[in-house]
Each structure stands twice: as C-alpha cells, then as structure tokens.
Amino acid sequence: MGMRYLTAGESHGPQLTTIVEGLPAGIPLEALDINEELARRQKGYGRGRRMQIEKDTAEIVSGVRHGKTLGSPVTLVVKNNDWKHWTKIMGIEAIDENQEEEMKRKVTRARPGHADLNGAIKYGHRDMRNVLERSSARETTVRVAAGSVAKKLLSLVGIELVSHVVEIGGIKANVDSSLSVEELKKRTESSPVRVADPQVEQEMMSAIDEAKKNGDSIGGVVEVIATGMPAGVGSYVHYDRKLDGKLAAAIMSINAFKGVEIGIGFEAARKPGSEVHDEIGWDNERGYYRKTNRLGGFEGGMTTGMPIVVRGVMKPIPTLYKPLMSVDIETKEPFAASVERSDSCAVPAAAVVAEHVVAWELANALVEQFNSDRFDTFADDINRQREYAREF
C-alpha cells in the first residue's frame, strides 16, 4: 500500500486542507519544511496581486508529535488570509435568492480556457463561481504542501529535486547540461523567472511585461530533475504501475499543463534509435549506468538510476485583461469574459508545483515498493536496493 492524499478548499474559502496518508512513522517534520516550499511557489516575476495578499503558511494539525511523523494521517492547513473579505460571498449558511450582497459576485460569463462552462454544465451550477472557486490553481498550494512532505522524505534518503524554467513565451534557455543539481538550484532560486541561463532572464522578464501591457498572457516549459533514485523502482508488468506514466499524469493534472516529456521526449520522434537510446556501462563505483541520459531516467516504466528528467508545457494563463469573447449563460448574449484577479505569467510558480507533484510520485513509488511502516527500515531498505542493484 502506498501513500495517498486529498486536497480540499475553495480559492476564497476559509482555508485549504490536505490529508496525507501512508507516510512512514519517524520522519522528522516541521512546519518550516512546508513553509519554505509554499514561499517558493508564491514567488516569480509576472504574478498578480493575489500573491501579495496571501503569505501562505501551513499548520500541521495531525500526524506529527514532537517533531516526528506518527504513521497516522498528516493534516496540513493553509488559511486564506483574504477570507475576511469573502465571508458573505462564500458563506457556508443558506441564503435567499434575493440576498443581493451574497450574490453580487455571481459569475455568468464563462471564461474561455477555464473550467467554468464545462463545470457548470456538469454540476448544474448557474453561478459559475461555484466552479471557479475550486478549479482555481489556488489548489496547487496544498499540492505543494503535500509534495513538500514527500520531498522531505526523499531528501532523507539521498534523493534531490530541482525545477527550473526552460522556456517562456517562445524564449528558450540554454542551460549547461553539466551543471550540478546544487548549482542549478542556486541559479534558479536567485532568478525572478527561475531560469538557470542568465543570458535570457531579462528577455523573459521583458516578454512578461509586454504581455501584461497588452492585457495578454504567456506560457512556457518547466523541467524537473530528480537525482539519487535507485534503479528498478516502478514496474513494467502493468500499465497503471509504470512510474513514467504516473509522472506524466501528475504533471498533466496541474492546472494549465498541456503536455509532458520525459528525457528528450518529442525530440525522439525526429532522431534515429542510435541517437535516442542510452548505452549501458558498469564500473565498480557506480554499478550499472547509462553513458547518456536521453531517456530521462526511465526504461520500461522503471527507474534506471540515472537522473529523472521530466518537462511540462504550461499554456498561457486563460484570464486576459483584454478578455476574449464568450457567452453569458443567463442571456446567451455574447460578452467579453469576466476577469477574476489574475497573473500574466505563472510559469516560474508552476515549476515549483511540478517539482512537488514529481516528488510526490517518486516518494509514493518508494513507499509502495519498500518496507515503509518505519522510516528507519525504509531508509535501510533503499540503501540495500542501491547496493544490490550495483552488484547485480
């Protein structure tokens, strides 16, 4: 049995909540581990006013005692600081149809590119606020919170993750592939657009400014790299146990993500096999290794032990200050779509979200595969796997 998590909460509701179940007992965990990651998600050039209102911090309200996980569900709560302004509009109590105050933020003009119209049709909501409050990427806050717990677990067994932006609005970073994870981290953490190539940083920021000025938005590509995963994690025996498949689903499930690549990804379509597959070598120190890593750490749905490289494509944010045309569901008249407070580019923040959903899937795969009731036996098991795979 692996781990699972649920998230709950509306964008302008009182709080966001996640319950993480299946963590080994005995993992050192404190709110700081989570809060550092939440702060990283809020940074990034191109974010709108919401990120200045919300300084997200998580409270651990179950599953941890005296700084260590208990093996029981860990509940994390992130309060919405803006809630005080929304208590009427988002109130829990029943209201009459004529209570103007509560209804005044009713949304009847579907925003193209959002869940609004499909969600309204599916659940029968005439006020599309009932959809957008939950479909909002505000939910990714608690996905990062859950992922930060996974990331902590991974770091304690020698697995490190880094995420960076490789493209924004058609401007591509040229990242030196020999950079260490540490160097990559250092560069991206100090970059307002989370890019490791200083040459294009300013160009990307200008592209964001330009989009904002035009009431438009731009997307991009993010990359997540994970090092230290032992070989042979995941499985080839059944479709829903393939770890590369799970990573792809995790990335695609992030709001606004439209594509996933592992390793050289779509490039593989344009190259001969000799330039796609990675030759296998063995030496005493590393054990089995690949001479290149074009397949991004996966063969047959399992880890090869090489760095895992996953990329995701984020579409431009759909809410535009110069709105696209849409239809009012009350009158069926054409209207400019309604504007909810919005960013012009959230690719840097999305890189942090991608890093955390990848962390979750990797941690979950390890918890599924190895002895995981206790953290100490879990860590021993993983080290044994590394030794075993090296000598195999």
Ligand X SMILES: Cc1cc2nc3c(=O)[nH]c(=O)nc-3n(C[C@H](O)[C@H](O)[C@H](O)COP(=O)(O)O)c2cc1C
Site for ligand X contains 137 (CB under 6 A)? yes
Site for ligand X contains 7 (CB under 6 A)? no
Stretch that binds ligand X, among 136-144, 177-185, 197-205, 264-272 (CB under 6 A): 136-144
Between 95 and 134, how does the x/- string for binding to ligand X read (CB under 6 A)?
Answer: ------------------xxx-------------------
Stretch that binds ligand X, among 8-16, 86-94, 95-103, 339-347 (CB under 6 A): 339-347
Among 160, 159, 145, 164, which Cα is nearest to 78's? 145
Least separation in angstroms between residue 91's CB and ligand X is: 24
Could you say which residues in the range 70-89 bind ligand X, by CB under 6 A? none
Backbone φ, ψ for residue 116 (5° rounding): -45, -60
CA distance 317 to 255: 10
Cα of first residue to Cα of last residue in the chain, in angstroms, is 27
Site for ligand X contains 250 (CB under 6 A)? no
Count Cβ atoms below 10 Å from residue 270 Cβ, excluding itself: 9
Site for ligand X contains 342 (CB under 6 A)? yes
Question: What type of residue sits at position 106?
Answer: K
Could you say which residues in the range 256-285 bind ligand X, by CB under 6 A? 256
Q: Which of 39/70 has CB closer to ligand X?
A: 39
Contact, 109 vs 331, CB < 8 A?
no
Three-class DSSP category at 82: helix
Residue in 350, 357, 363, 379 binding ligand X, rule: CB under 6 A: 350
Among 174, 177, 180, 190, which Cα is nearest to 160's? 180
Could you say which residues in the range 294-333 bind ligand X, by CB under 6 A? 315, 317-319
What does DSSP assign to residue 187?
H
Strand bridging mode 308-314 / 220-227: antiparallel
Site for ligand X contains 343 (CB under 6 A)? yes
Site for ligand X contains 346 (CB under 6 A)? yes
Residue in 193, 226, 353, 367 binding ligand X, rule: CB under 6 A: 353
CA distance 183 to 188: 9
CA distance 236 to 183: 34
Q: Which of 49/271 has CB closer to ligand X?
A: 49
> What is the contact surface with ligand X in residues (CB under 6 A)?
48, 113-115, 135-137, 140, 254-256, 315, 317-319, 342-343, 346, 349-350, 353
